[in-house]
Amino acid sequence: MNQDEQRGYMKKSEIEQLERQGCRCSDWNLVEIAGGTDLGGIRNVWFRGPVSIGRGSTVVNVPGGISNVRIGRDVRIENVARIENSADATFGIGTDIAVLDETGSRPVRIYPGISAQIAALAARMPDYSGRHLMPLIDARIKELQYDFEIGDGAEILDCGPIRDVRIWPGVKVEGAAWLKNGSIVNNAEEKSGLTYVGSGVNAENFIIEDATVANGVLLRNTYVGQGCVIDKGFTSHDSLFFANCSMENGEACAVLAGPYTVSMHKSSLLIGVQTSFMNAGSGTNMSNHMYKHGPIHWGVLERGVKTSSNAYLMHGSRIGAFSLVMGVHKTHPDTSDFPFSYLFDDESGHTIVVPGAMLKSFGLKRDSEKWPVRDRRLGHGLKLNDRITFSILNPHSADLIMKAIATLKGLDSAPAGPDGYIIHKGIRIKRSSLEKGIRQYELAICKYLHTMPGKKASEPIMPTEESDERWIDLLGQVISESELKAVLNADSIAEMEAMLDSAAGRSDLIDNLPSALRIIPAQADIERGATEFDAMVERDRTADIDRIARENEALTL
């Protein structure tokens, strides 16, 4: 075999065969087809520029032309309007996503492998990001030298135009309407991994990584991360979705969606907000535009927030972890001092808080059990980009609970208004809710102490000599303040990720034990409180089962 045959240059007879099969090219010297490839599988293709085709691949019906692309081995391309890459294509890598503040003051620059934690630092610490993090991200992006490739074993079927899109090995794109300036990434060991782009998808300036996007989804300036499912006509712009998010029917705008953010219903709008472990009720709506200065307002729903049907929030707002939001809230509420709460509205749109009311919910226990088993990233041989702390009672939530106890005790002497409410940071709390909230929070601390990792039930809990440490929820990963400070001083993205990996192994440690024991100092009280906490949750479970049984009986013919 001569050198031209090894490179895949074609003989005159092969060119004539392709032309008989409806192929055309102004310069066949720009086309390379690997030796041993069945030319019968290359039909009705306009070769408009440099193209190489790997062994075993088929390319059928590309009437608008194909140019500037290397097609790997065993690729299947059928019925695609056009496939082309410009000389300066970046494949969506380096796109700035204007999360939270729509005016772009908190951009996150995306690349394959970006983690929820790095994105959170970019969005929530814009001064640090501009000074230190963005140069590290740019250096990381320079390391990602990708060519104009459709990877081995990929399938592209029945699609509209595809321009400046790199498609990783094993990816399947089927019925997409329009794809421009993006990367479709498959990190799985097997060819048929998590990555799938389906019917009617229209996407520009995007990265889809180990995820499914299908059925009429519209993406602009969007990153879709590992294990995510974006489906059923969902619309997103300037948003990022991290591990195991599920988004259908509604809309996201400027959203930083941490792990397990779920919005499944029509008429739901998430805008200018950070979330994680969230569940949005049907018709959930948010506002971030006060008209005078544009859409600069944004909010934070700390982990585990749920919204009821037709709930409404006006940003800027900050909602405490594991709270349930019901009704219309127009006064930019900050309930972060009171995690695990019920939030109601009054006739004027003010926020009424029932502190600690969610702690008795059996649903919390169910959530803590279901999240790990619903991790779609597992079983594919992936390096997991996002670190997730699944436990509901952890050092960070314990910090929040202990602060809530202190705040409620301080409010006990505060005067109530004529309507019976105590005002705190613009929110309203009934005096009768103070004592009950304190007790429920104390029971949660007892449960937290009683379930220390590695502790036997019969062992007493002893105070440690370690100093109290503040803990932070970094978009799904609980990390200590000292560990985070070290991460912030790292000299590369790889070093930052390695340090975050190391910190992830400590997220269940109880380094705030001294503070907790100041609240519940006696071993017997801890054991009694943990037992009472479990009984409280069990009562809620059985009451719910009884209620379901009564409803089913009432509906039975």
If we measure between CA atoms, which residue out of 217, 215, 214 comes closest to residue 194? 214
- Give the mean pLDDT of 54-83: 97
Give the length of the chain.
Answer: 557
Specify whether 117 is located in the same domain as 47: no
Sequence letter at residue 86: S
461-481: string of b/e by CB count within 10 Å (b at 16+)?
beeeeeeebebbbbbbbbbbe
Specify whether 145 is located in the same domain as 175: yes
The token pair at 530 is: 């943990």
Report pLDDT for 133.
98
Specify whether 365 is located in the same domain as 428: no
Specify whether 225 is located in the same domain as 170: yes
**The dihedral of CA 547, 548, 552, 555: what is its sign?**
positive
Report pLDDT for 319.
97
Report pLDDT for 412.
87
The answer to the question of residue 351 being in a domain is no
| Final residue belonging to a domain, choices 64, 84, 104 | 84
| Residue 511 in this model has a pLDDT that exceeds 70 | no
Task: Give pLDDT tens digits for 470-492.
Answer: 899 999 999 999 999 999 999 99
Residues above pLDDT 70, as percent of the chain: 93
CA 538 to chain centre: 31
The count of structural domains within the chain is 3
The answer to the question of residue 326 being in a domain is no
Sequence letter at residue 414: A
377-401: string of b/e by CB count within 10 Å (b at 16+)?
beebebebbbbbbbbbbbbbbbbbb
Task: Give pLDDT tens digits for 421-456.
Answer: 999 998 999 999 999 999 999 999 999 988 865 454
3-class secondary structure for 223-254? EECCCCEEECCCEEEEEEECCCCEEECCEEEE
Specify whether 136 is located in the same domain as 57: no
Specify whether 79 is located in the same domain as 98: no
| Residue 11 in this model has a pLDDT that exceeds 70 | yes
Report pLDDT for 509.
59
DSSP state of 204: E
The answer to the question of residue 355 being in a domain is no
**Dist CA 208 CA 217 (whole Å):** 12
DSSP H/E element including 212: strand 212-213
Specify whether 51 is located in the same domain as 124: no
Lowest mean pLDDT segment, chosen from 49-58, 276-285, 289-298, 384-393: 289-298
The answer to the question of residue 325 being in a domain is no
Specify whether 72 is located in the same domain as 100: no
Lowest mean pLDDT segment, chosen from 246-255, 336-345, 512-521: 512-521
DSSP H/E element including 311: none
Give CA torsion, residues 301, 304, 308, 313, to 10 deg.
0
Task: Give pLDDT tens digits for 299-326.
Answer: 999 999 999 999 999 999 999 999 999 9
The answer to the question of residue 349 being in a domain is no
Task: Give pLDDT tens digits for 141-177.
Answer: 999 878 899 999 999 999 999 999 999 999 999 999 9
The token pair at 63 is: 């009437």
Most trustworthy range by pLDDT among 461-465, 496-500, 535-539:
496-500
Specify whether 383 is located in the same domain as 397: no
Contact in structure between 59 and 40 (CB atoms under 8 Å): no
- Give the mean pLDDT of 237-266: 97
Q: What is the largest CA-CA distance in the chain?
A: 96
Report pLDDT for 343.
97
CA 259 to chain centre: 4
Strands (DSSP E) contained in 100-198 are: 107-109, 149-150, 155-159, 162-167, 172-174, 178-185, 196-197
Report pLDDT for 292.
63
**Dist CA 397 CA 444 (whole Å):** 10
Task: Give pLDDT tens digits for 518-551.
Answer: 788 787 888 899 999 999 999 988 988 888 888 8
The answer to the question of residue 550 being in a domain is yes
Specify whether 368 is located in the same domain as 236: yes
The token pair at 365 is: 């226990």
| Final residue belonging to a domain, choices 44, 65, 84 | 84
Specify whether 496 is located in the same domain as 532: yes
Q: Is the peptide bond before 227 cis (omega within 30 degrees of 0)?
A: no
Place of tokens 């990555």: 195
| Final residue belonging to a domain, choices 38, 54, 84 | 84
CA 450 to chain centre: 32
The answer to the question of residue 167 being in a domain is yes
The answer to the question of residue 174 being in a domain is yes
Residues 6 or more apart from 10 whose CB is under 8 A from it? 18, 28, 31, 33
Residue 5 has a CB neighbour count (10 Å cut-off) of 11
Give the pairing of strands 477-480 and 471-474: antiparallel
Specify whether 153 is located in the same domain as 129: yes
Domain extent at residue 131: 93-316+361-387
Report pLDDT for 225.
98
pLDDT band at 245; cut points 50, 70, 90: very high
Report pLDDT for 433.
94
Task: Give pLDDT tens digits for 193-240.
Answer: 789 999 999 999 999 999 999 999 999 999 999 999 999 999 999 999
